[in-house]
Amino acid sequence: MSYVKPSQLVDDITHSGMLKTHLTLGQMVMRGALAGAILGAATTVALTATAQTGLPIVGAVLFPVGFAMILLLGLELVTGSFALVPLAIMERRTTVTRGLRNFFVVILAHLFGAGLYAFLYTTSITYLGTDMSDPMVQAIIDLAEHKVLPYEAVGAGGILVVIIKAMLCNWMVAIGTIMFYTSKSTGGKILAMWLPVTTFFSLGLEHAIVNMFAIPAGIMLGADVTVGQWWVWNQAPVLLGNVLGAILFTALPIYFSHRTHVNRAPASGEAVDVDAEVAAEATEPAEPTLVRS
């Protein structure tokens, strides 16, 4: 059977978190940039479907295509890593320094990839800024303003609201990332991660990487939002909320629900030689039925 039991699941996600922190700088940049662009493309697919059907749930159902591509290709999505890397640190399979390095580099790469896609997409739908009649123009402007101005209007309370919405979002996204590891078949992986990601998007919650496309694209198209407003009232608190949601609502509960002294590896509690493990991973033949993210 392709189902991975929870005890093995914890091993797999911890191992994946360790591997992420041992990527080269170039690998982090390329994987993060590609993931940012793909998530931007998935967001435009969802917005287009919503505009064409008048049913936001249709866009929510289609949006996870981006996550599926990112996870199947083994790219870097920091909101998923927010759940996996801390577990690797807890089991001393990597270090805090390596984990923070991964987060910092991948976030910058996401900004580049999502921003590049935003520029190319807005340039194409406006015909180099000469035609603003495409319905997607106003849809993106409205989305960008909705993700910033209502929070600003509430003041300090708006920061709390956006953090909570980001925590709820990455609760679902992190579950989707972990559920990806519950199957060894490609179809099973896609189906498992699809459900929680559809849930987050349909509820209108706040995802940092989606916002790295949506708000800059809106600004490029003329949204009444400045770069400063974007970061103060959305991007910075959303990143914080995404971290908290992944760790507190997903990673730790799943870990402590299934990890015991009996199934913990290594049982002796000694630190793992992660460099040797990464080297061994690189020399082993790839397993076609198991995709590591």
pLDDT tens, the chain, 293 aa long: 589 988 899 999 999 999 999 999 999 999 999 999 999 999 999 999 999 999 999 999 999 999 999 999 999 999 999 999 999 999 999 999 999 999 999 999 999 999 999 999 999 999 999 999 999 999 999 999 999 999 999 999 999 999 999 999 999 999 999 999 999 999 999 999 999 999 999 999 999 999 999 999 999 999 999 999 999 999 999 999 999 999 999 999 999 998 865 566 553 344 445 555 555 555 544 444 443 43
The structure tokens listed for 105 are 């580099």
**pLDDT for the residue 277:** 54
What is the rounded distance in angstroms from the CA atom of residue 155 to the CA atom of residue 280? 52
Coil, strand or helix: which one is 67? Answer: helix
Kindly give the interhelix angle for 78-90 and 208-221, rounded to the nearest 10 degrees.
150
The structure tokens listed for 31 are 């994987």
Q: Are 110 and 202 in contact (CB under 8 A)?
A: no
**pLDDT for the residue 6:** 87
Work out the angle at residue 87's Cα, subtended by the Cα atoms of residues 84 and 92, and round it to the nearest 5 degrees.
130
Coil, strand or helix: which one is 260? Answer: coil
What is the rounded distance in angstroms from the CA atom of residue 113 to the CA atom of residue 210? 11
**pLDDT for the residue 269:** 41
**pLDDT for the residue 175:** 97
The structure tokens listed for 4 are 């991975």
The structure tokens listed for 196 are 């929680």
Q: Are 47 and 143 in contact (CB under 8 A)?
A: yes
* 183 φ, ψ (degrees, to nearest 5): -135, 150
